[in-house]
Amino acid sequence: MRSWLPGFTALSAIWGASFALIKVAVDAGVPPVWVAAWRCVLGAATLWAILLARGERAPRDRALWGHSAAVAVLLNTVPFTLFSFGETEVSTVLAGVMNATTPLFTVLFTVLTVREERRPGARRLLGLALGFAGVLTVLGVWHGLGAGATTGALACLAAACCYGAGFAYLRRFLSGRTESVTVLSALQIGCAAAELALVAPFAAGAPHWPGAGAAAALLALGAFGTGVAYLLNLGLVRAAGTTVASAVTYAVPLFSTALGATVLDEPVGWNALAGGALVIAAVALTRPRRAPAAAPATAPAPRARQSAG
């Protein structure tokens, strides 16, 4: 049995479960911006505790802190809020499939912003078109959507778009840094926590106790879905390489759909399954033909992955 398989499965399950945890919180009345805020606060606390336990220190480089604050907006502050808002209107099944479009947006933004990136050929362009068709299939555009469902779906799609822009930003400004991924992750999530702590009280008022179930969901979402998941991702990259790690994108919608259907009793229409399959096929087409070399065990900062949860 391959040694990286348990980590791969755990990471896919954690990121897939994050959509169900968000749903529990918003259904309990937690405002979307506070779901995002608690997720980042608890995730940052977990990452900083691990960082300190490892004896690492946060660098004082102002440029690094500035880039971390900027990427936190694109990868955490805005998309976490948008996904939480989206799930007030749509199911975890749809949200999980929309999240799977992240690599497609990453390709677009990387091509536009990274000079070293080659222009997309016919194969990748076909993948982008197929992904767009998959999104339309998931939405079931032929029979229309209610106003709320349309707004929620577009919010989730906008969140995936933010992820794509964020990963392109990471590649351009942070992928070559010498700091460990633990340090970079702690800085990023810490900045996101600070940003949301400033915004949330003005956007949604003071926080309130949502009940034991929602509180437990937020704790799991922050500590595991935003803290431990980062470290699992790093371990997977170093154990199996970025090609295997990027395949988590394929598995996350499977877990989010399964949990939505079995735990939350959400309906799973044929168009969600067909559209999800089209999106996954599109991601496969847009990935580079050559597999990137596996990161060595001492590599301080592997390139950013093209998925999120």
What are the phi and psi torsion angles at 90 (to 5°)? -125, 170
Domain that holds residue 167: 5-286
3 state DSSP class of 223 = helix
Residue 297 lies in a domain: no
Q: For the chain, what is the domain count?
A: 1
Q: Which residue has the higher pLDDT, 56 or 244?
A: 56
Residue 308 lies in a domain: no
Q: Which residue has the higher pLDDT, 171 or 22?
A: 22
Q: What is the pLDDT of residue 68?
A: 93
**Whole-prediction pTM:** 0.81
- Cβ neighbours, 10 Å, residue 245: 29
Residue 205 lies in a domain: yes
Task: Name the average pLDDT for the chain.
Answer: 81
* Stretch 243-251: mean pLDDT: 63
Contact call for residues 21 and 221 (beta carbons, < 8 A): yes
* Stretch 263-278: mean pLDDT: 77
* Stretch 221-241: mean pLDDT: 79
CA distance 301 to 237: 10
Residue 300 lies in a domain: no
CA distance 9 to 11: 6
Per-residue model confidence as pLDDT tens digits over 14-28: 988 999 999 999 999
Q: What is the pLDDT of residue 51?
A: 93
Q: Which residue has the higher pLDDT, 51 or 293?
A: 51
Lowest average pLDDT, out of 127-141, 149-163, 287-301, goes to 287-301
Confidence of residue 142 (pLDDT cuts 50, 70, 90): low
Q: What is the pLDDT of residue 234?
A: 65
Q: Which residue has the higher pLDDT, 73 or 147?
A: 73
Amino acid at position 240, single letter? A
Lowest average pLDDT, out of 76-80, 96-100, 185-189, 219-223, goes to 96-100
Confidence of residue 294 (pLDDT cuts 50, 70, 90): very low
Mean pLDDT comparison of 109-118, 217-226, 294-303, highest-scoring range: 217-226
Q: What is the pLDDT of residue 16?
A: 87
CA angle 97, 103, 107 (to 5 degrees): 145
Residue 208 lies in a domain: yes
Residue 291 lies in a domain: no
Residue 104 lies in a domain: yes
